Structure 1
């Protein structure tokens, strides 16, 4: 008799924020510190639950190793660079909460040339 594979479950979310925490993305652990701060930032913006809930995940490498920390907002396909703590506040409040991209921090937008 074999063990049945259990189908995983995940809570509903509106957007998924991917944060590169690889060693080449930023120096001195800045990307990991940024990721660690996200729980509080999302909660403060009201994005930790409800219909606008944002899921966050660490990624070990995006292969876009300059200008980090780098984050990607999915399913929007918006890629941000130079994501300092202050810039993350802008992304959380403007993009994730209010739906307005932070244009001066975008280095790639899926679907646009």
Structure 2
């Protein structure tokens, strides 16, 4: 019988990944932004419940320019220049409202769940 305990994670609607690697922002701006997310998510009502957003630090996305870099999954939306003010926009418009903040997107992966300004085929 194994002594390994299976981990558990609570349900979440989206997962926000933020690069805190030194090549992304040498001044620690990404870590400070990450550290602020708990209070920001709580204030926006996405700390728990149906719209809960899980957050994780990543050591390197291999983008290395224009940081801080943030990726929202499962939407596959990659944001750059995520300043404190821009993070507020991402929280309000994307994580709460479901609409991508177009002027901050540098890549859109194969995820689903958000409109990119295109007509909804459904």
TM over 0.5, shorter chain: yes
- In the alignment, structure 2 segments of 5+ residues that lack a partner are 112-122
Local SS of the residue matching 1:40: helix
If asked which structure has higher relative contact order (CA below 8 Å, sep 6+), I would say 1
Q: Distance in 2 between matches of 1:74 and 1:55?
A: 10
TM-score scaled to structure 1, two decimals?
A: 0.94
- In the alignment, structure 1 segments of 5+ residues that lack a partner are none
1:34-49 equivalent positions in 2, closer than 5 A: 34-49=33-48
Local SS of the residue matching 2:17: strand
- Distance apart, 1:101 and its partner CA: 0.4
Q: Distance in 2 between matches of 1:20 and 1:111?
A: 20
The CA RMSD over aligned residues, in Å, is: 1.2
Q: Distance in 1 between matches of 2:17 and 2:100?
A: 16
TM-score scaled to structure 2, two decimals?
A: 0.88
Q: Distance in 2 between matches of 1:21 and 1:110?
A: 21
Local SS of the residue matching 1:11: coil
- Distance apart, 1:27 and its partner CA: 2.5
